[in-house]
Structure 1
Amino acid sequence: MAETLHIVGGGMAGSEAAWQAAEAGVPVVLHEMRPKVGTFAHRTGNLAEMVCSNSFRSDDDERNAVGLLHWEMRAAGGLLIAAADRHRLPAGGALAVDREAFSAEITQRLRSHPRITIREEEVTELPESGHWIIATGPLTSGRLAEAIRAATGAEALAFFDAIAPIVHADTIDMSVAWAQSRYDKGETEAERKAYLNCPLTRDEYEAFVDALLAAEKTAFHEGETAGYFDGCLPIEVMAERGRDTLRFGPMKPVGLTNAHRPGDKPHAVVQLRRDNALGTLYNMVGFQTKMKHGAQVEVFRTIPGLKNAKFARLGGIHRNTFINSPTLLDDRMRLKSRPHIRFAGQITGVEGYVESAAMGLLAGRMAAAAIRGGDLPPPPPETAMGALVHHITGGADARSFQPMNVNFGLFPPVEARGGRRGRKDRYLAYTERAKAAFTAWLGRKRA
C-alpha cells in the first residue's frame, strides 16, 4: 500500500489536492481545523467554502487567461471546476456559482471517497517526516504561521484582503434598479440579466464618495501596514486615489442602459451579482470594504435602489499571509529546506479561487507521483498552470513578490505570424498554444 499523503487545509487548494492524489491511488489524510477552530471570514465547517466572491471569473477559454485555466482544470479532471459547472448561476460570461451548494458537494465528495480521511484538527507545527502539502490559504492559523517562519528563516509577507457585502434580494428596490449584464453578455436571457444595476447621477455619486471617505474604518493593529493586493482593493482605498477612480472601476457605467429611463445615461452604476441559485442573495460587485459595520449600512443605503437594503453579510477585512515562494520553493512546489513538504494555494502567492485550486491540483498530482516512486514535472510555461508555477517558483522577483492572478503577462510571448497581431488574435494564439502544450503534458506517462 502506498504511503499516506497528509494535506493541511480544506480550502480550494487542499480540497483539490486531496481529490487528485486519492484518484491517483494514494491514501490521503486531510487536516482541517474548522469548525473546531474558526476564522474571521469562514461561516461553516464545509470544505472549499467561498468566503469572498462567488465568482470564478471569466469562462472564456479562447481569449482570457483565467478562462484558459478553467479549460485546463476541466481537461485534468478537476473536482472543483466540475462542481462549479454543476452549480453554475447566470452571470454573463463569468462562472459564478451557488456557494452553499458548491461547498456542500465538495464536502460530500471528499468525505465519501474511500481513500480520503478527514481530521478536524489544527496542525500547529511543520512535520519532520512523511509526505505533506500545506494548503492553509490566506487565513493560516497564527501558530502554524509562526512555525513556517521559524522553519524558513524568513518573514512571511502579508497584505490585507477585504470582503464584499451580500444583500437580500427582496430588499432591493426594482423600481430603481434593473437587471442587465454589462454589454448584454450571455447566451441566454437569464445570463444577459444576471446582474442588478443601481444608477447614480453625478450629484449622487459625489455624495456617495464624500460619505465613503468620511466613514469610520477598521483600524489596523499597532505595527501593521496596509499592503493591499491591487485586485481586491477596498472601495474607500480606491476613492482615496481620486474621486473618479470608482467610476473607472467597479462603478463604471459603460455597457448598460437604464431600463426605467433609457434616455438617461448614469454617471456611475453599482452592480450586484446573484449569489445563490434561489436568487435571494446578491453580492455587491467590487465593494470589498474595511468600513465598520454601522458605517457600511449607512453609506450603502445612500445608493439608489438600496435605501431599504438588508444585508445577509457585511464587508470586512482580514490579514492575508503568504510566503516568499520564489525564494523558498522549487519547481515541484517543495520547500527547499524540507523537500518532504509542498505548499499550494494562496499561501504560495497566487490570488483567486481558480488559481488556488489549480496549484492544489498540481501539488496533489506531484505528491502522488513522488509517493509512487515517480516524478511529475510542472506543465510547460506556455500553459496557464505552468505560467503560474513558474511565476511563484522563480519567475517573479523575490524582492518585490506580491500575490498574482493568472494573466497573459506571465506567459512566454507569442511570436507574430504574418505581421502584427491584434490583441484578440494574440490572446487566441496564447490559448491555442497553451491547450496543445497542456494536452501533451497530460499525456505524459506518470508513476
Structure 2
Amino acid sequence: MKVSVIGAGLAGCEAAWQLANRGILVELFEMKPQKYTPAHHYKGFAELICSNSLKAARFDSAAGLLKAEMERMGSLVMESARRFAVPAGGALAVDRTLFSDYITQKITSHPNIRVVQEEVTELPEGTVIVAAGPLMSEGLAQAVQRLVEEEHLSFFDAAAPIVAADSIDMAVAFEASRYSNGEGDDYINCPMNKEEYERFYEALISAESAPLKEIDQRDFKVYEGCMPVEVMAKRGADTLRYGPLKPVGLTDPRTGRRPWAVVQLRKENAGSTMYNLVGFQTNLKWGEQKRVFSMIPGLKEAEFLRYGVMHRNTFINSPKLLNAAFQLKKQPEIFFAGQITGVEGYTESAASGMLAGVNAGRRLEGKEPVILPRESMLGALSHYISDETVVNFQPMGANMGVLPALEERIRDKKLRYRTLSERGYRALEAALMKYGEYEDRKGM
C-alpha cells in the first residue's frame, strides 16, 4: 500500500505522518529547494510564512479546542509547536526555524516516508493527497484545474515585516501584554499619541503599494483575516485604533496613561532577536515600508530583517467537489488538504491534513472514512468545506460560530465557550472510539 502526498507544508507533513504511522508507505513530493514560491524562503518543511503565531492556546477558544483535538490525534505540528514555543501571552507562537527543522527531521527520518524533491506537474497514479498549498506551482495548478474541471477561486494573503530586536528603541517602547496577561515581556509595545498616530495614518494611506501581476489585478480579492494594513486603514481613520493598534489594556510607563494607539511587536524566535509587527501584513513597496513603519515610535532606527510581502492564494470550490473526509466525490482515491480546501489558518490546514491522511489510510485498509461530528472543531470545519448548500464559498478558520448551538442558552461568553469546547472534545473522543482510531492514546 502506498500513498502519494504532494507538498511538505503543514497539511502535507501531517498527512504523511498519519499514514506512515499506520504502516503505509508514503511518497512525499516537495519541490523545495529546487524551486520556491514567491512567499517561501526556507528549505525546511512546514514553513510558516505569514506569522509565527498559531493563535489562542487556551482550551475554551476555537483555536484552543482545535489544538486539543489535534494533540488527541497525534499531531506532529502540535508536538513541534509545544517544543519550540516562544512567549506570546495567550497565544501559541513558535520559533519558526526550530519548528520547521524538527518537523523536517521527523519526516525525513521516518522509515515509511520517502521524500521526492521535485515539482509535480501531473498527479501520480493511485491514492493521492494534494496538499501543495495555495501557492502551488503553475504546472500543478493546471493539473488540478484539469482534474476538478472547475475555475479556481482566489484571494490574496499578506505577511508582516520582521525587525531586529536590538534595533528597537526601548526608551520609547515598553514590554507588556494586554491586561498584564502572560509573563509581561511577551510583546514589545510602541505607543503613539494622537498627533503621532495621525501623521502615521496619513503616510500609510498615501504610501505606494507594490504592483500586482495582470492576472492578480483581474482577480484581486482580499481575505479579511489577513488583510494588508494599508487596505484596512483606508476604511477609516479610526479603523486601526479599533483593530490591530487598539490601545486597550496597556499603559505607557512614560505617561502613566493609555496611549492613543499602540503597535505591538511579537517575538519571532526563542532567542528573542527578532520581532514581527502584529497585524501589519502589507503589500507596500519595500522602500515605502521602511519610510512609513519607521515613523512608528520606537522603530525610527529599526533594522528590517524581512519586509512584508503579498501573494496570491488559491482554493477550490470544495462544497461542490469534496466530502467531509476531504475526498473528491467523483474520484475517491484523490484527497485534498490544507488551505486549498478553504480551511484558513496554520492549525486548520494541519488538521485537515491529519484527517485526509487518516481517511486515505482507511480507504486502503478497506474501512469506512472517519466523519467527525459537527460539535468538534475539526468536524465543524470539515462539514463547512463540504456543505453543498454553501453558494458563495469563502475560506473559514476555526471559530465558535461554526459549531452547533448549545441546547441551553448560556449568556456568559467565557462559560459558553468552555461548555462548547468540552462538548466538542467529548464528541471527538466518542467518534474516535466509534471508528477505532487512536485507541492507544489517552484523552484529556
Residues 360-408 of structure 1: CA deviation (Å, up to 9, x unaligned): 01011111111112123221110011000000011661x3111111111
Q: What is the match of residue 418 of structure 2? A: 428
Q: 1:420 to 1:95 in 2, by over 3 A?
A: closer
In 2: Cα distance, 1:36 partner to 1:444 partner: 44
Percentage of pairs with the same residue: 50
2:80 is paired with a residue whose SS is helix
Q: 1:146 to 1:222 in 2, by over 3 A?
A: same
How far has the Cα of 1:331 moved from its partner?
2.1
Q: What is the match of residue 258 of structure 1? A: 252
1:278 maps to which of 260, 271, 274: 271
2:332 is paired with a residue whose SS is strand
Q: What is the match of residue 177 of structure 1? A: 173
Number of residues of Structure 1 aligned to a counterpart in Structure 2: 435
Residues 28-65 of structure 1: CA deviation (Å, up to 9, x unaligned): 11000111111111112210011110000001112x11
1:78 maps to which of 65, 68, 75: 75
Give unmatched runs, 5+ long, in structure 1.
Answer: none
In 2: Cα distance, 1:430 partner to 1:392 partner: 21
In 2: Cα distance, 1:337 partner to 1:75 partner: 31
CA contact (8 A) 2:156 2:221 kept: yes
Instruction: Work out whether 1:57 is the aligned partner of 2:50.
Output: no
Q: What is the match of residue 319 of structure 1? A: 312
Q: 1:219 to 1:438 in 2, by over 3 A?
A: same
Q: What is the match of residue 126 of structure 1? A: 123
Instruction: Work out whether 1:35 is the aligned partner of 2:33.
Output: yes
CA contact (8 A) 1:178 1:260 kept: no
Where do residues 3-402 of structure 1 align in structure 2 (5 Å cutoff)? 3-62=1-60, 64-127=61-124, 129-186=125-182, 191-223=183-215, 224-262=218-256, 264-394=257-387, 397=390, 399-402=391-394
Instruction: Work out whether 1:444 is the aligned partner of 2:442.
Output: no
Could you tell me the TM-score, scaled by structure 2's length? 0.96
In 2: Cα distance, 1:75 partner to 1:237 partner: 39
In 1: Cα distance, 2:110 partner to 2:207 partner: 49
CA contact (8 A) 2:230 2:282 kept: yes
How far has the Cα of 1:420 moved from its partner?
4.8
How far has the Cα of 1:142 moved from its partner?
1.1
2:81 is paired with a residue whose SS is helix
How far has the Cα of 1:442 moved from its partner?
2.1
Residues 100-139 of structure 1: CA deviation (Å, up to 9, x unaligned): 0000000000111111111101111234x31110001121
2:233 is paired with a residue whose SS is helix
CA contact (8 A) 1:369 1:446 kept: no
1:266 is paired with a residue whose SS is coil
In 2: Cα distance, 1:256 partner to 1:445 partner: 48
Residues 278-299 of structure 1: CA deviation (Å, up to 9, x unaligned): 1000010000000000000000
2:426 is paired with a residue whose SS is helix
2:55 is paired with a residue whose SS is strand
Q: Which of 94-103 and 223-232 deviates more?
A: 223-232
Q: 1:396 to 1:139 in 2, by over 3 A?
A: farther
In 2: Cα distance, 1:206 partner to 1:37 partner: 43
How far has the Cα of 1:222 moved from its partner?
2.4
1:117 is paired with a residue whose SS is strand
How far has the Cα of 1:261 moved from its partner?
2.5
Q: What is the match of residue 442 of structure 2? A: none
Q: Which amino acid is the alignment partner of residue 94 of structure 1?
A: A
CA contact (8 A) 1:10 1:135 kept: yes
In 2: Cα distance, 1:349 partner to 1:210 partner: 35
Q: Which of 298-307 and 43-52 deviates more?
A: 43-52
Could you tell me the TM-score, scaled by structure 1's length? 0.95
In 2: Cα distance, 1:149 partner to 1:65 partner: 33
How far has the Cα of 1:426 moved from its partner?
1.5
How far has the Cα of 1:221 moved from its partner?
2.4
- Cα RMSD of the aligned pairs, angstroms, is 1.3
Residues 216-236 of structure 1: CA deviation (Å, up to 9, x unaligned): 101222242321110100000
